Every structure is written in C-alpha cells, then in structure tokens.
Amino acid sequence: MRTIETLVPGAARADTAGLRKLDADELARYVADSAHPWWRRRACAVALAGRVPERRVADLAARVRDPGDVGEVRIALLDLLAGRAELLPWLQHEDRRHERSFGVPEAILKARGSLGDRSAAGELATLAASPWPRSRVVGEAGLDALVARYGVEAVVRDIGVARPEDRAFRVRMQHRAGQDVTHTLADPDREVAYLAQSLLTDPKRLRCYLDEAPPTEAKLWAAYALHRLTDDAAETRAIYDRLGRPRVEVAGLDGELRSAILHEYARGCERQSDPRWRVEALCTEPPVRPDEETQLRRATAALATAASHRSPRSPAARTTDRAAARTT
C-alpha cells in the first residue's frame, strides 16, 4: 500500500495523482500536523483540492493563521480554503499587512479577491502589474475572481485609472472583451504602452494607426509591435527612417560600443525601457562578432611565447623551492 511518505519521497517529487487517491481525512490530518516535513504537507494540501473534510477546516485554518508555519504550506492552504467566508475577517485585518513570509502577503490578497472583497482591487492591480511573473499571476487571479463575481465595469470603477497599473488592468479587460487597444500605445507610462503592444495582433490596424499622427513614441511602439507580427525588417526600417531615426543620445558613448551594447541588451530590456532603444536595435546591423577560434589560437600562442621568454630559474632558487616544499 502506498503511503504519503512513498508518494512524496523528496522535495519537488510529489506524485499528486497518487495522493489524490488517498483518504482526504488522512491528508488533512497530515497537513495540519506541523511536525511533518513542510514539502510533504504542501503536496498533501494541493491533493486535497475540492475535497476538504468539513471537520478538518478549523485545523487547516489554524495553520493558515499561524505566522510561524512555513509560508509555502500557508499559501497552499489559502488556495485550498479560498471559498471559506469565515476567513475573510482575518484576511482583512490590519495585522495582515505585517506578514513577512515569502509569497504569503500576495496569497492573502488573492484570497480576498476570491472571497469577493472589492477593497482589495487596487492592491491586486498593483500586484498584477508586477515585473515578477509569480506575483503577476497571483494578482491577475485575484482580479479575475472579482470580475467573475461583480463584472468588469464594477471592478474598473473600484480601481480607477489614475495609476499606470490601474490603466494596465483596463487595457487587459478591454483586450479580453475584443476591443481595440491600439490607442493605448500613447499612454504616458511605458509599461502600459508595452503591455498594449504585446496584445496587438492586427498589422493592418497598426499601419492605419501610424497614419493617425500619434506621438512619436506611440509610433515607435506601433513599429515595434508591427515588426513582432510581421518580422519585416524592411518595413520597420522604412518607418524608422520616416520618423527621423530617433534614438537615445548618450554622451561619450562611441558608435562601436553603442552598437555592441544595443544588440546585446535592447531586445531583452525591461518593459519600462525607452522604445527608441528597441526600434534602433531592429533597424541597425549588429557588430561583427570576433572569431572566437582565431582569438583563442592567438591567445594560446601569446601565452606560449611569454612562457618561452621567462628567465630560467637558478639552481639555488630551485633548491630553495624544494626545501620549502619539504618544510610544507
């Protein structure tokens, strides 16, 4: 007979399908006992999805409330108990703002969203705009739960549009509803504009937008999105030329070094980066990379030459070295 220990022999080695076949009460008792390894307890909590024994809810909730328990277990339990309304007062309490376990504050916000707490909408929007994928996914899940319960319009009103993350949420909702978000390429916040360009899928619409006289930066975002969709370097260069080849000037940076930096880093730069870097990288040739094999041969030859010109050590020096070696 397979046991929890054999189904979870090590951290990150859980047989979740096997755990789901075990008795739910056995799994819940295991999770509630903090004496067991946290990684086994977390795996058991995941395997309990949709079948939490009612008589074990209080014990599991106590583990969620315990700041001394392992964060990963508490996060898994928050997901597991997300629909329990009795947790909401604890989740909303001011003390939750002092939680320090990794990932727990985010999981608490997500749980508030799952329970329909509209007062969490603004913080969830901030979380959904995080540069960290893990936080972003959690924030979006909490917002999606609010939208499912109250509708997009209500949640948009709760959040507003004052902050970049608020507008980013609105852009995502408009795109999800099939609306055109091309106009948001002109958003004053580059992260919102970057999000908009990442969602666009119609090259024809982007070409029309370029003729609508948007600000230069919005045109650059449009050119960047268009290139992503078509991979047409000639068209991108033509747009870049029409715009006057705008670029970020850096005092003291010579052309060769600029080209090396540009093509090494521009394609993977942060979402807040100036689009002039991105489009310049698409429209300029990368520097010729050195022949590494030739460089290696030259370096090897140089080292050999240097070694051959070293002064030979005197017999006295060699004797001293041997004596030192014996002493050591």
Q: Which tens digits make up the pLDDT trace of 316-327?
A: 444 444 444 444
Q: Residue 137's pLDDT is what?
A: 96
pLDDT of residue 309: 63
* Average pLDDT of the residues in 192-199: 96
Q: Return d(Cα 68, Cα 305) in angstroms, integer.
A: 64
* 235-257 pLDDT per residue, tens: 999 999 999 999 999 998 888 88
Q: Give residue 12's pLDDT.
A: 86
Residues 114-164: pLDDT tens digits? 999 999 999 999 999 998 999 999 999 999 999 999 999 999 999 999 999
DSSP 8-class letter at 236: H
CB-based contact 59:80 (threshold 8 Å) = no
Pair of tokens at residue 15: 């047989």
SS3 217: helix
pTM of the predicted protein model: 0.80
Residues with Cβ within 8 Å of 71's Cβ and at least 6 positions away in sequence, in order, are 101, 102, 103, 104
Q: Is the pLDDT of residue 274 over 90?
A: yes
Per-residue buried b or exposed e for 264-302, using 16+ beta carbons within 10 Å of the residue's own CB: eebeeeeeebbbbbbbbbbbbeebeeeeeeeeeeeeeee
Nearest to 225 by CA among 212, 243, 239: 239
